[in-house]
Structure 1
Amino acid sequence: MKIIVLGSAAGGGYPQWNCNCRNCDGFRTGLVRSRPRTQSSIAVSANGTDWLLVNASPDILAQVRATPALQPARRVRDTGIAAVLLMDAQVDHVTGLMMLREGPAIPLYCSEPVWQDLRAGFPLARVLEHYCGVQWHELPVQQGDRTGFTVPRMDGLRFTAVPLDSKAPPYSPHREAPVAGDNIGLLVEDLASRRKLFYAPGLGSIAPMTSAAMREADCLLVDGTFWTEDEMIALGFSSKPAAAMGHLPQHGPGGMIEVLDGMPAGRKILIHINNTNPVLDEDSAQHATLLRHGIELAHDGMEIEL
């Protein structure tokens, strides 16, 4: 199984276009040593030719240009993207669908609640009916017993959608009354090597089902949005703590570092990193803390093979 990190930042990317926090200003002035990052998305393949796009970031066109595997140029018009799978209906994970409108109908895999959000609250699917169109395939979201599924042209890979404790988008009718499938984690198994990836860019808490899936994985690619619970409040950017936005911070009791310390995976990688997170500064004490715990920071173009 091959995985390419197309984008590794949270919504707005890094540096964020209108932000002058220490990280963003420091990057622009050369005082902070870090990498620019686009909004989070990954591509997964069994054969290195056909790719499942997991989340369609607003930055998808730049990500395709930076990833030759996604433009194999076999025909006058071509793409290596075989299908798109959505983890949720958040703006920074679905808006890129509009950028794919020049191609054929999009095979789209998402849960029923996400599909309803794309038909009503943020009706991208209805808009796309006037362009390429969307072929919706409902994801079976795990409820108790393990329910896996396959995707055409992803031969040799098996997927499991794990419901997460997190937040639906602000435009969703169940923003304050979550339902299973609003947010999922994705467990991907290579049936030949038996190795597994667990991907969850938005992870508000670790429920037993989530913990079980994470313990199975050889590689964890999980929520790295905030360093502390009050990060956005302390900077004056928001009145909401990390938990209210559906993210588990890295630092502190019960935080992501502590969770990952208890997981057996050989690789532990943070993704969906907010522009305010001090771990982006590669000379920071927070970045050094991650390294001491054996935790990596995803970057655009990162390649993983399992």
Structure 2
Amino acid sequence: MRITVLGSSAGGGFPQWNCNCHNCAGWRDGSVRAKARTQSSIFVQPSHGQDGVLFNASPDILEQIRTNPILQPSRALRDTAIAGVVLMDGQIDHATGLFMLRERGSPLPLWCTDPVEEDLSRGNPILRVLDHYCRVDRHRIGLEGEAFEVPGVPDLQFRAMPLSSKAAPYSPHREQSVPGDNIGMLISDRRSGLSAFYAPGLGEITPPVFDAMSGADAVLVDGTFWTDDEMIGLGLSRKTARDIGHLPQSGPGGMIEWLGRLPRHTRRLLIHINNTNPILDEDSGERAALGRHGIEVCEDHMTIEL
């Protein structure tokens, strides 16, 4: 299995277009050593050169296709290596890129849960708009642990589980989440027997989630905020990280603590990193702390071979 990180940032990307926080301003003037990042998405293939699955379609998808030639194999006049799209939630930074795929000559194969399908048909009717273009061939993701496959992507199997997080702001479930608003995904390679767990939006690690993480060979999980009060401290929000569905890295019960409980062989990676998070500064103490715990920070174009 080959996982390509197309985008590793939270919504808005890094640097964020209107932000002058320490990280964004420092990147622009060269005082902070950091890499620019597009909004989070991964592409998973059975092996290099084969068609694969796009997980989340960010608003940056066209740039991500341009800078990752594996997505455009050029085998025909119109071509793509994207055999299907899987949505982890209905957030703008994970679904708006579907608009950019409207030139398909056939319906877009899309996998999502029922709550996400509802949000993207009513609250933010992306799927209804696409009916005027390529149309969407929507497949339901179940939440009972049943495995599914994506045609054209041999040997990979997918199992979803509901997560504790937040639905999109335009969702009727925003303040009263329902199962399926957000999911994690166990991606397994039947040839090698290896697997990865992907959860870019993760507000709480429940026993079933930790079991899935512990059984995976690599985990790519929520790296949005370093502290629970990060946005409050900057005067950018009145809500904590947990209030908006993200488990911070630091502090009691934080992501670092949970990742430290995983088996020693597990590869630990953070993805969906907010522009305010000090771990983006490669010379920061927070980044060094992650290194001491064996935790990697995803960056655009990174590949993970399993």
In which range does the TM-score fall when normalised by the shorter chain?
over 0.9
Which residue number corresponds to residue 22 of structure 1? 22
CA distance in 1, matches of 2:47, 2:233: 46
Write the mapping of 1:151-190 to structure 2, written as runs, cut at 5 A: 151-190=150-189
CA distance in 2, matches of 1:166, 1:122: 19
If the length of structure 2 is used for normalisation, what is the TM-score? 0.98
Q: Give, in angstroms, the shift of residue 286 of structure 1.
A: 0.2
Write the mapping of 1:15-164 to structure 2, written as runs, cut at 5 A: 15-48=15-48, 49-103=50-104, 104-142=106-144, 146-164=145-163
CA distance in 1, matches of 2:170, 2:31: 38
Unaligned stretches of 5+ residues in structure 2: none
CA distance in 1, matches of 2:65, 2:197: 23
Which residue number corresponds to residue 12 of structure 2? 12
Q: Given the alignment of the two structures, is residue 201 of structure 1 paired with residue 200 of structure 2, yes or no?
A: yes
Q: Give, in angstroms, the shift of residue 51 of structure 1.
A: 1.4
Q: What letter corresponds to residue 209 of structure 1 in structure 2?
A: P
Does the aligned pair in 1 maintain the 2:225–2:274 contact within 8 Å?
yes
Unaligned stretches of 5+ residues in structure 1: none
Q: Give, in angstroms, the shift of residue 140 of structure 1.
A: 1.2
| 3-state secondary structure, aligned to 1:5 | strand
Q: Give, in angstroms, the shift of residue 178 of structure 1.
A: 1.1
Q: What letter corresponds to residue 208 of structure 2 in structure 1?
A: M
Which residue number corresponds to residue 212 of structure 1? 211
CA distance in 2, matches of 1:302, 1:162: 25
Q: Give, in angstroms, the shift of residue 40 of structure 1.
A: 0.1
| 3-state secondary structure, aligned to 2:28 | helix
Which residue number corresponds to residue 230 of structure 1? 229
Q: Give, in angstroms, the shift of residue 207 of structure 1.
A: 1.0
Which residue number corresponds to residue 262 of structure 2? 263
Q: Give, in angstroms, the shift of residue 47 of structure 1.
A: 3.6
Q: What letter corresponds to residue 217 of structure 1 in structure 2?
A: A
CA distance in 1, matches of 2:16, 2:71: 25
Q: Give, in angstroms, the shift of residue 55 of structure 1.
A: 0.1
Q: Give, in angstroms, the shift of residue 183 of structure 1.
A: 0.3
Q: What letter corresponds to residue 200 of structure 1 in structure 2?
A: A
Q: Give, in angstroms, the shift of residue 253 of structure 1.
A: 0.4
CA distance in 2, matches of 1:279, 1:106: 36
CA distance in 2, matches of 1:171, 1:207: 26
CA distance in 1, matches of 2:289, 2:101: 39
Encode CA deviations 1:72-116: one digit per residue, 9 max, x unaligned: 000111111110000000000000000001113110000011001
Q: Structure 1 segments of 4 or more deviating over 4 A?
A: none
Encode CA deviations 1:140-178: one digit per residue, 9 max, x unaligned: 113xxx321111112111110011011111111111111
Does the aligned pair in 1 maintain the 2:83–2:150 contact within 8 Å?
no
CA distance in 2, matches of 1:147, 1:131: 31
Q: Percent identity?
A: 60
Encode CA deviations 1:164-206: one digit per residue, 9 max, x unaligned: 0111111111111111111000000111111110000000000
